[in-house]
């Protein structure tokens, strides 16, 4: 039986048959459907994915007319991460003029709202100068990163230490106090950057510290929307599933713990987000076919029910893409094509 080139979730090359690919597609989709209580993919969608995985081309793309735009997280930070020693305004120009980016994001290396709070007035002039010389929409972005508010990094008792001691209520109270401070910091930084001219604010990796982290991002979005009705707020998630670290937090009557992307989207809409970025995480010990079918099963309901643009996270370790510092173009392009063609998406 013919063998086809593919990869595992960690990027390792593998040779697989059509039957093996199809089996993984079905298993991955059914895993997501079972977890999120959404429909598995249809036979036609499985066959479309099979065609994509069995194509011999190294690079694949969507058919003409189905192109989507790209937004970025940690934009200027990534130029530094790869060791290109340029200023951040130059980094923005590199993305715009050399990489043809549709949008870009100015960000600080300490990519969380709490540390940015202290240097926000030094970030503003950089943004203001960047806006004079660039053309594409510029976001200012950082992570909510609620973990920075508990000891030893922050002022509140550490829930991860309290819970093993059985101090559940104290841990929950610590999370609730952290939410209040985090909302203040997000609103403070986002307000300054918007008043400096930013086209949008990105709350990236939302929910990384669980339901309290997600709640803070929603409350900050709500406050910013009331303060600046025209502000673009992109709310990107950290994972496919909101961890119930507190477990009882609600937003407008909806319990946040355990929410999957299609429910997270509805919370983002309720809060007033402009763009929502759902996530599905990659399992390194499963194949790319398994991971991609699983991701698409999570994302498809989002695209179908959304009233706002949806930009799923596609990059290292998310969106069916391998967990590898150098994501291979065969999987990146296959995943991107499949996501756009099967789900009703607005960007990546």
Partner 1 sequence: MRGAGDLVARMQMSKGMRNEEAKAYVAKKLSVGIEDLTDPVIMNEVRTDLGIGVMTPLPGVPKGIEAKFNIAKALDIDINCVKRFLARTS
> What residue ranges bind partner 1 (CB under 8 A)?
64-65, 67-71, 96-97, 100-103, 128, 131-137, 194-200, 230, 232, 274-275, 306-309, 345-347
Q: Work out how close the CB of 217 gets to partner 1 at its nearest, in angstroms, rounded to a whole number.
A: 18
| Cβ proximity to partner 1, 43 vs 307, nearer residue | 307
| Cβ proximity to partner 1, 257 vs 345, nearer residue | 345
Q: Work out how close the CB of 313 gets to partner 1 at its nearest, in angstroms, rounded to a whole number.
A: 16
Token look-up 């203040």 returns 184
| Cβ proximity to partner 1, 21 vs 348, nearer residue | 348
Q: Work out how close the CB of 247 gets to partner 1 at its nearest, in angstroms, rounded to a whole number.
A: 32
Q: Work out how close the CB of 199 gets to partner 1 at its nearest, in angstroms, rounded to a whole number.
A: 6
Q: Work out how close the CB of 64 gets to partner 1 at its nearest, in angstroms, rounded to a whole number.
A: 6
Q: Which residues contact 235 (CB under 8 A, 6 or more apart)?
A: 203, 206, 217, 218, 221, 268, 271, 273, 275, 276, 277
* Full DSSP string of 118-181: HHHHHHHHHHHHHHHH--S-EEEEEB--GGGGBTTTSSB--HHHHGGGT-HHHHHHHHHHHHHH
| Cβ proximity to partner 1, 12 vs 61, nearer residue | 61
Q: Work out how close the CB of 52 gets to partner 1 at its nearest, in angstroms, rounded to a whole number.
A: 20
SS3 320: coil
* Full DSSP string of 16-57: E-HHHHHHHHHHHHHHHHHHHT-PPPPHHHHHHHHHHHH---
| Cβ proximity to partner 1, 263 vs 346, nearer residue | 346
d(CA 105, CA 139): 4
| Cβ proximity to partner 1, 137 vs 315, nearer residue | 137
Q: Phi and psi dihedrals of 150, rounded to 5?
A: -110, 155
């Amino acid at each position: 039986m013919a063998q086809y080139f593919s990869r595992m979730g960690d990027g390792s090359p593998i040779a697989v048959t059509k039957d093996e690919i199809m089996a993984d597609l079905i298993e991955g989709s059914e895993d997501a459907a079972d977890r999120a209580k959404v429909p598995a993919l249809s036979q036609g969608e499985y066959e479309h994915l099979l065609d994509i995985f069995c194509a011999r081309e190294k690079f694949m793309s969507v058919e003409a007319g189905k192109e989507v735009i790209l937004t970025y997280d940690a934009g200027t930070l990534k130029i530094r991460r790869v060791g290109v020693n340029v200023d951040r305004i130059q980094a923005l120009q590199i993305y715009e003029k050399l990489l043809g980016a549709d949008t870009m994001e100015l960000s600080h290396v300490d990519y969380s709202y709490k540390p940015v709070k202290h240097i926000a007035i030094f970030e503003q002039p950089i943004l203001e100068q960047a806006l004079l010389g660039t053309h594409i929409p510029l976001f200012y972005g950082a992570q909510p990163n609620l973990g920075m508010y508990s000891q030893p990094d922050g002022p509140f008792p550490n829930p991860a230490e309290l819970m093993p001691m059985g101090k559940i209520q104290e841990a929950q109270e610590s999370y609730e106090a952290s939410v209040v401070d985090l909302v203040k910091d997000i609103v403070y930084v986002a307000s300054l950057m918007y008043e400096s001219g930013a086209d949008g604010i990105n709350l990236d990796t939302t929910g990384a510290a669980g339901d309290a982290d997600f709640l803070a991002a929603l409350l900050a979005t709500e406050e910013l929307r009331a303060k600046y009705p025209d502000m673009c707020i992109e709310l990107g998630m950290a994972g496919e599933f909101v961890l119930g670290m507190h477990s009882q937090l609600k937003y407008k009557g909806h319990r946040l713990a355990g929410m999957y992307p299609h429910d997270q989207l509805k919370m983002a809409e309720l809060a007033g987000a402009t763009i929502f970025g759902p996530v599905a995480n990659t399992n390194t010990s499963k194949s790319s076919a398994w991971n991609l079918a699983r991701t698409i099963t999570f994302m498809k309901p989002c695209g179908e029910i959304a009233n706002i643009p949806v930009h799923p996270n596609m990059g290292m370790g998310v969106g069916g893409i391998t967990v590898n510092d150098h994501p291979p173009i065969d999987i990146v392009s296959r995943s991107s094509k499949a996501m756009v063609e099967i789900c009703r998406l607005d960007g990546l």
